[in-house]
Amino acid sequence: MAARWWRRALRGLCGAALFLSQLSVLSGRAGSLMTTKLSQPQSTLAKSLTSTSTNAPYFKAVESTEIPPYLTNCPSNGLCSRLPPDCMTCNTNYSCIYGKTATFDCKVKPHVHCVDENNHEQENFTINMTCQFCWQLATSDYVCTNSTNCMTVSCPRQRYNATCTVRDHIHCLGNRVFPKMLYCNWTGGYKWSTALALSITLGGFGADRFYLGQWREGLGKLFSFGGLGIWTLIDVLLIGVGYVGPADGSLYI
């Protein structure tokens, strides 16, 4: 009986030890899981803080230091009424009467400084101009491109397509850059007085034709002695009235 009792007691102790060991293993796993779960938010928070601090300079507003391109053409502290059109914005009134003087309300653009006639700085002002489109201005109010590809000595007189730009301080309606058909009026540097003098003095040797760049006619006059004087006399008349000009088609100076 005593032996059986001891066996049962040993079995009970072994069972209790086994239960305690399993319980300790389970508690260790739970603790590690809790530590992992608690450490994850902290690491995530640390990452978010790190990323925020790292990217903070990129969200900083960058102050613009660029200078508007129109400022280079805008005089400082000049009369507002004399400012170029690129330096102001005006309320255009297209219902004005053509050819009549009209008043327009204008305002200077940012960073532009101008004064009135009393040397007082102002932003809002009025300008007076003739009611007409830019392409209707006088020829002295705009500048056009020249062409050297058309003949000026021709009948009828030739024209060419030019691009014209209105001068500063001239105000008008519509586009300030416009196309226009102009007469060929370029010059190659030939003087009418020089050509006439050569035709009178040395025309019998073709000097006038050589000067104008007409080599074939010059050689013809040279070897024919000015057409026995008849060709020389005719050239004096033609150059005198301006009918015979430079071979490149340009005008006399």
> What dihedral angle (degrees, nearest 10) is formed by the CA atoms of 203, 207, 208, 212?
160
Q: Which position has the higher pLDDT, 14 or 89?
A: 89
The predicted structure's pLDDT at residue 166: 92
Q: What is the DSSP string of 155-197?
A: SSPPEEEEEEEEPTT---BS-SEEEEEEE---B-S--HHHHHH
- What's this model's pTM, rounded to 2 decimal places? 0.49
* Positive/negative CA dihedral, 7, 12, 17, 22: positive
In DSSP terms, which residues pair with 87 in a beta bridge? none
C-alpha 153, offset from chain centre = 37
Percent of the chain with pLDDT over 70: 72
DSSP 150: S
User: Structural domain boundaries of the chain?
Assistant: 80-131, 142-183, 192-241
**Model pLDDT, residue 50:** 42
Distance CA 236, CA 243 (A): 10
Determine the pLDDT at residue 63: 46
Over 50: is that where the pLDDT of 24 sits? yes
pLDDT-based confidence at 33, cuts 50/70/90? very low
CB atoms within 10 A of CB 57: 7
Q: What is the mean pLDDT of the chain?
A: 76
In this prediction, residue 154 carries a pLDDT of 65
Render pLDDT for 145-203 as a digit per residue (tens, 0 to 9).
Answer: 887 677 666 667 788 888 999 988 888 888 899 999 888 777 777 888 899 999 999 98
Q: Give the pLDDT band of residue 1 (cuts 50, 70, 90).
A: low
Per-residue pLDDT, 59: 43
- List, for residues 41-93, the tens digit of each pLDDT value: 444 434 443 444 444 444 444 445 677 777 777 877 888 878 888 888 888 77
Nearest residue to 239 (alpha-carbon basis) of 204, 218, 208, 206: 208
CA angle, 84 then 85 then 91, to 5°:
145
Strand partners, 108: 88
DSSP state of 132: -
